Amino acid sequence: MATTVVPPRKTNRIGLEPAVYKGSKSTLCAGCGHNAITERIIEAFYEMGVEPHRVAKFSGIGCSSKSPAYFLGSTHGFNAVHGRMPSVATGTLLANRTLLGIGVSGDGDTASIGIGQFVHLMRRNLPLIYIIEDNGCYGLTKGQFSATADRGSVLKNGVVNDLPPIDTCALAIELGATYVARSFSGDKKQLLALLEGAIAHRGTAMLDVISPCVTFNDHEGSTKSYSYVKDHDEPLGEVSFIPFFGDIMVDYDPGSTTEVTLHDGSRLLLKKLDSGYDPTSKVEALRVLSESHDNGEVITGLFYVKTGQPNFLDLLNIVDEPLATLPEAKVRPPKSALDEVMESLR
Amino acid sequence: MATTHISPAESEAAPQHERVVNDLSIQVATVNGSGSQSSNMVLLRALFQMGIPISGKNLFPSNIEGLPTWFTIRASKHGWIARRKEIDFLVAMNAETGEEDVRGLDAGAACVYDEKLNLARLRDDLIFYAVPFDKLVAPVCPDAKLRKLVRNMIYVGVVARLLEIDMGEVERALRKQFKKKVKAADLNFKAVLAGYEFAEKNLEKRDRFFVGRMNENAGKVLIEGNAAAALGCMMAGVTVVTWYPITPSSSLCETLITYMKRYRMDPETGKATFAIVQAEDELAAIGMVMGAGWAGARAMTSTAGPGISLMAEFVGLGYYAEVPGVIFDIQRVGPSTGLPTRTAQGDVLSTALLSHGDTKHPLLFPASVGECYSMAIEAFDLAEELQTPIFVMSDLDLGMNYWMSESFPYPDKPLKRGKVLDAEDLNRLGGFQRYKDVQGDGIGYRTLPGTNHPAAGYFTRGSGHNEDALYTEKGELYVRNMDRLERKFETARRLVPGPVIEQAGHDVGVIAYGTTHWAAMECRDQLAREFGVQTDYCRIRAFPFADEVAAFVRSHARVYAVEQNRDAQLAGLLRLSLPGEEIGRLRSVLHYDGLPIDARSITDAIMTQEVGS
């Protein structure tokens, strides 16, 4: 008797296939760093076994902001207006605190037009994964400088940027974000670990991901080109992420690592490369970032993490169930309440 | 326009010797920050408690301390509560404006003034009462630091004595004003008594103005429009409130915070059934409303004109992406510095068409505190039924002043949450198309983030999407979608509050909306009594205009649209909405000096135009 062996289909811990985590086909340029980031996002949500309906996706305007259509295709997404994604994400998470929010922005969308909402998002420590797909230029309007372009970078037409860049990571740390990292779209392993850590975190997780623009900003004069970043990438440490899924215990030799336990029991391991980098110190993080600017390096890794800090929703003392779907009995006070107010006005 | 002088019939002013009871306006001129608001509220409330129809209007500067401020109280046995331009009884406490205030009075008016201002020298056709405020306050209030605040209570006593306001009601009003601060109430009442006793001993009553008990206010409440709107929001089940401070809207959300903390904490967990966030600016406030509305919350913000301008882009997205949200616009005069604390109906046209591309939005026009309450409730229902931003167009006069009202009724209908599909619905239907017009009313079905069904999710974008919410730039699909949105606006026309019409076949029609209503009603009475001009009336309560509005215009030879802006903004919207042949019937009466509109100005303006027709 012939037997056909059906190979077991690849699924994650909640029994979903990788395809569930994909979105529609990318319309960005071939080779765009943003597409690599999309792939890592898909992988991270798959690996972490997040139910797609529990997620809400947000973006502003720009090449980066198109990308939420390319992952988690069955998930609700909101493509907001330029630079204002943080407020839309905030509103949604206020309305439904059980959602896991992920916002994708760009360097123009964040550091120029969106800087106002960005800084207030960071200081609120809203539980949101905030990704900047950072190429130092405006791709969708054909390559103008953004505020993260390095001093001295040159546009294709020869224009030189004379202004200093805004370091979104330093800013986020200063303002109160509780998980701040920088990575490179081409660094699969590091980016995946940082994304998985961000998914497990309960607070603002800000990831600035250098993502070269193959069309407008991948030439010799650019400090955000693929080759420039490859040559100047200085990983702060090797980041590994160990998820916590209840009964799965991972035995890991700490060796020369710093370990951070996230709110759900997951652990982030940072392998120390130099003088005992401490990701829980704001001062140390800012020093490292400042030094890297002086040395013309792009330092990557997890700069700062703080667990156990109350996030914005905790501070607001909102009920556990989504505000959006509370029944009428919970949101319309009884007649006695109105009577009491009326009596006080007589 | 040529100005024809129209003299109102002389019968309006009573002969000098006759007693005028319960028909007067009192103006108190003070300096901002001198605590006069408490004194004025005590006077207003005491008259209210005496059962006399009253209104109180605070005309205040954009300043915390030092600039001139006026408070006008009107008591009217006829029930007229619009501002009266003519002042009968002046309390002049401000050295800076005293002379101008006195010069502005009509002959026969009374003036209580601070002795040291020496105002009696200015006119010989007024009745003056000099009061040595400093001398009177010193023994009452030994603490020199408090004197500036207590000093204004003296005039409450003086006025009470001169007008015969019941002192029992004055004390009751004062104790209500100071709530639990008994010591402060005692001190202030001592000052009131000092003023009363001084007037009793030293001032001979020579003017003709009096008040007397009536029974018009039984069961009524006294409340500001912003507080009434806040109550409406709470009773509408609002769950997400985001705001940025701006005069004159701030007190709406601030009052709402107080109410929600008291009545909307979950009794089982002690947690809030709401989220209230003071945003970093109006851009963020409306963005949060959009995010929350999209996720299914009843979300709102409140602002004024400058904030509306900042919200323009997001509101356009809300229109195209079809996201519910409620925005209160407490209208005031124009941008930046100048007259931000003065009233206007100046945002009507820009808000109706706010944003870029083809956008238009439903507007509700509350005229009373009762409608601030009821329209707040309606606005949330409309936002969710129509899946679009809804504006409630209040103004400073309504929002920040105290108005009398019947008690607000408890809502008798359940919340209308609109077309929302849950996972069970999706199982039954097999899926849905976000932007498909299933029932012909232009409104599609939506799902909320978090719905546990593989077909629930969709991607929300601006202008370019097909019925399945997928990206498209095809012109044909864009047109189809825009035409559906137009159908939805027609549905809105049927759902928004209709006009209130009083029609008896007269040639002349009057149209008003919002706070202009009160002056318009009094004007109609003046037109009839003084000039024999009978009018029909249409009070517009919402945009898009119901069909009855066009019918009203059509059935009159001349229709005067009265509003508080320079550019005839509502008339402009009417011109966009009416058939061509009706437009010529429209005329405008416009008032835009920052003060609440008064009946006499409207009557004069209408008669000027009537004389020529």
Identify which of B221, B299, B451 has the shortest CB distance to residue A53.
Answer: B451
Q: In which residue are the tokens 């490179």 written?
A: A184
- Asked if B273 and A76 come within 8 Å (Cβ–Cβ), the reply is no
Interface-testing mutation among A319, A320, A339, with chain B (most B C-beta atoms within 10 A): A319
Q: What is the pLDDT of residues B202-237, one digit of tens each?
A: 999 999 999 999 999 999 999 999 999 999 999 999
Give yes or no for residue A68 having a pLDDT over 60.
Answer: yes
Do residues B63 and B125 lie in contact, with contact meaning Cβ atoms separated by under 8 Å? no
**Average pLDDT of the residues of chain A:** 88
- Asked if B460 and A120 come within 8 Å (Cβ–Cβ), the reply is no
CA–CA separation, A139 vs B150, rounded Å?
66
Helix axes B133-140, B182-202, angle to 10 degrees: 140
Residues of chain B in contact with residue A341, where contact means CB-CB under 8 angstroms, are 231, 259
Q: What is the pLDDT of residues A209-262, one digit of tens each?
A: 998 888 777 777 777 777 887 788 788 877 888 777 654 444 445 455 667 777
CA–CA separation, A45 vs A94, rounded Å?
22
**CA-CA distances (angstroms) from residue A122 to A317, B281, B606?**
19, 15, 57
Residues of chain B in contact with residue A87, where contact means CB-CB under 8 angstroms, are 279, 283-288, 290-291
Residues of chain B in contact with residue A103, where contact means CB-CB under 8 angstroms, are none
Amino acid B295: pLDDT: 98
Residues of chain B in contact with residue A53, where contact means CB-CB under 8 angstroms, are 450-454, 456-457
- Asked if B460 and A77 come within 8 Å (Cβ–Cβ), the reply is yes
Whether residue B324 has a cis bond before it, omega within 30° of 0: no
CB-based burial label for B613 (10 Å; 0-12, 13-18, 19+): exposed
Amino acid B165: pLDDT: 98
Cα distance from B175 to chain A (closest Cα, Å)?
Answer: 13
- Asked if A52 and B457 come within 8 Å (Cβ–Cβ), the reply is yes
Amino acid A275: pLDDT: 54
Amino acid A273: pLDDT: 54
Identify which of A87, A92, A117 has the shortest CB distance to residue B449.
Answer: A92
Instruction: Identify which of B273, B188, B210 has the alpha carbon closest to the alpha carbon of residue B237.
Output: B273
Task: Considering chain B, tell me which residue range(s) the CATH 3.40.920.10 domain(s) occupy.
Answer: 15-210
Cα distance from B106 to chain A (closest Cα, Å)?
Answer: 34
Contacts of A135 (CB under 8 A, 6+ apart): A33, A63, A106, A107, A146, A210, A211, A212, A213, A217, A224
Which CATH fold topology does B500-611 show?
Rossmann fold (3.40.50)
Which spans in B456-565 are helix H?
Answer: 475-495, 516-531, 547-554
Sort strands B542-543 and A267-272 into parallel, antiparallel or unpaired.
unpaired
**ipTM of the complex model:** 0.94
Amino acid A248: pLDDT: 43
Amino acid B16: pLDDT: 62
Residues of chain A in contact with residue B451, where contact means CB-CB under 8 angstroms, are 53
Q: What is the pLDDT of residues A281-312, one digit of tens each?
A: 999 999 999 988 888 888 889 999 999 899 99
CA–CA separation, B256 vs B228, rounded Å?
9
Cα distance from B282 to chain A (closest Cα, Å)?
Answer: 10
pLDDT < 70 positions in chain B: 1-16, 613
Identify which of B273, B408, B452 has the shortest CB distance to residue A331.
Answer: B273
Q: What is the DSSP string of B366-384?
A: --SHHHHHHHHHHHHHHHH
Interface-testing mutation among B222, B224, B355, B460, with chain A (most A C-beta atoms within 10 A): B460
- Asked if B294 and A88 come within 8 Å (Cβ–Cβ), the reply is yes
CA–CA separation, A65 vs A109, rounded Å?
8
Interface-testing mutation among A59, A338, A344, with chain B (most B C-beta atoms within 10 A): A338
Name the residue of chain B whose CA is nearest to A56's CA: B449
Which CATH fold topology does B15-210 show?
Pyruvate-ferredoxin Oxidoreductase; domain 3 (3.40.920)
Identify which of A54, A73, A319 has the shortest CB distance to residue B266.
Answer: A319
Residues of chain B in contact with residue A51, where contact means CB-CB under 8 angstroms, are 452
Q: Could you say which DSSP state residue A71 is in?
A: B
Q: What is the pLDDT of residues A98-131, one digit of tens each?
A: 999 999 999 999 999 999 999 999 999 999 999 9
Instruction: Identify which of B525, B545, B547 has the alpha carbon closest to the alpha carbon of residue B537.
Output: B525
- Asked if A89 and B291 come within 8 Å (Cβ–Cβ), the reply is yes
3-state SS assignment for residue B191: helix
Instruction: Identify which of B232, B46, B43, B222 has the alpha carbon closest to the alpha carbon of residue A342.
Output: B222
Considering the segment(s) B225-405 as one domain, its CATH architecture is: 3-Layer(aba) Sandwich (3.40)
Q: Could you say which DSSP state residue B401 is in?
A: S
Amino acid A155: pLDDT: 76
What is the domain class of A28-325 according to CATH?
alpha beta
CA–CA separation, A199 vs A48, rounded Å?
8
